[in-house]
Amino acid sequence: MPHTISAENLRKFSQAVFEASGINAEDAARATDVLIWASLRGVDTHGIRNLKRYYIDSAAGVGRRDGVIIPNAPLTTEHESATTAALNANGGLGLSVSCRAMDLTINKAREQGVGIVTVRNSTHFGPAGYYAHMAVEHDMLGFAATGYFFPHGQEKAVVPFGGLLAMFSTNPLAMACPADQCPPFILDMSTSMIPVNRIEMLEELGKRIPLNWALDANHQPTDNPAAFKKVVPLGGATEYGGHKGHGLMLAGWILTGLLSGAWCQSPTPDRVLGSSSETKNGFAQEGIGHIFAAVRLDQFGDPTTIKRGLDSMIRTLNDSPPAPGFDQVLAPGQPEHARLLDRTKNGIPLSGAPLADLRSLEEEFGIRLELDE
């Protein structure tokens, strides 16, 4: 039976743990907000379940796939114009780094109509949708993406279409658009069939996975989450339109790994992830790369009219006949908004490994975790 904990109690605990681990108070608050945002919306793969394994443990040096976090590293500017900037996270906490980068993106869009900011040498940034959503309250479209390329391969990564070696992270992207009365449109998707941490979450729950999600060490489809070594691109590894997911994955990496400067000729070896820190054909990737973009709606027309138009489209979708097995046709963001309303009222459910992780942090740092039941 899951326990529940209110978002407020979970927020206090998470922020206190971040601070106890050496993160400054402002960054601890920003990072916590990202995780709670995901957990409230039922995006549990990218929420509070990752506090220990992705962020606290990685700050202690356990970050081979997602990067070792350097607490309170400076966020420095390497290139900048009125509408763009290229930032270096210097190994900092990807959650708070990305909030700062999106703040800058929004400020540029506020002044110039559009803003685009890249970040290199970063670490895991959690749910891409959070940063895209930051633009919504400013009457802007928001976009965020992250990516990594393992030139020598990496276990539990994504194979290219038609390939045997897992070489990419799941390279997610997100876009958000404000509506007038409806919840905002928020698309947050991996360019692989499934994110790695969803398979890991299902393993914790003792569940099998669909055969078209992942491959074992012999490059054969597996429904056993404990046996998977490779994730397939959206559409499949060799069929069902997998070349489209593969192309989208590479396009995302161009925006995040290449444009940010993360893919470079002289990377710091201990910032290179994967099975080897050596360059390949003269390059390797230094830390995780991100990109953020925002554009004001008023650059294209009256914002209220645009938002009401989105309402109309969403309601028209909702009114259309659902297919067998579905109750209603929904737009991206609507299921998560419904969970937000429920979990804000009734608390965030926690059980199994995620709760055990929080209990271990409670013991490690001497910070009490207040459960509702």
Task: Name every residue whose Cβ is closer than 8 Å to that of residue 127 and which is 6 or more positions away in sequence.
Answer: 34, 37, 38, 43, 46, 47, 174, 188
Place of tokens 């997610």: 172
Residue with tokens 């601070």: 19
343 pLDDT more than 60? yes
**pLDDT tens-place string over residues 19-30:** 999 999 999 999
Residue 65's pLDDT is: 66
- Report the C-alpha gap between 87 and 120 in whole angstroms: 6
- Closest to 27 in 3D by CA, of 61, 63, 59, 71: 71
The more confident residue out of 59 and 137 is 137
Q: Which of 49, 8, 9 is nearest to 369 (CA)?
A: 9
Cα separation, 276 vs 272, whole angstroms: 8
**Model confidence over 136-171: pLDDT tens digits?**
999 999 999 999 999 999 999 999 999 999 999 999
User: CA Rg, the chain, in Å?
Assistant: 20
* Cβ atoms of residues 72 and 24 within 8 Å: yes
CATH no. of 1-62+345-373: 1.10.1530.10
What does the alpha-carbon distance between residue 277 and residue 285 come to, in Å, rounded to a whole number?
A: 9
Model pLDDT, residue 60:
67
d(CA 35, CA 286): 25
| Predicted confidence (pLDDT) at residue 64 exceeds the cutoff of 60 | no
Asked if the model's pLDDT at residue 57 lies above 80, the reply is yes
- Is the pLDDT assigned to residue 371 strictly greater than 80? yes
Ordered by start, the domain boundaries in the chain are 1-62+345-373, 74-193+232-299
Which tens digits make up the pLDDT trace of 68-89? 999 999 999 999 999 999 999 9
- Write the CA distances from 42 to 37, 68, 79, 334, integer angstroms: 9, 27, 37, 12
Confidence band for 63, pLDDT divided at 50, 70 and 90: low
pLDDT, tens only, 267-286: 999 899 988 999 999 999 99
Model confidence at 17: pLDDT above 90:
yes
Class at the top of the CATH hierarchy for domain 74-193+232-299: alpha beta
Residue 2 pLDDT level (bands cut at 50, 70, 90): confident
pLDDT by residue (tens digit) across 241-271?
889 999 999 999 999 999 999 999 999 998 9
Mean pLDDT of 4-17: 96
Distance between CA atoms of residues 98 and 116, nearest Å: 13
User: Cβ atoms within 10 A of the Cβ of 74, count?
Assistant: 9
> Taking the complete model, does pTM exceed 0.75, yes or no?
yes
The predicted structure's pLDDT at residue 266: 94
Q: How confident is the model at residue 372 (pLDDT cuts 50, 70, 90)?
A: confident
Across-strand partners of 263? 285
State the virtual CA torsion across 34, 286, 214, 249 in degrees, nearest 10. Answer: 80
| Mean per-residue pLDDT of the chain | 95
* φ and ψ of 348, to 5 deg: -95, 125
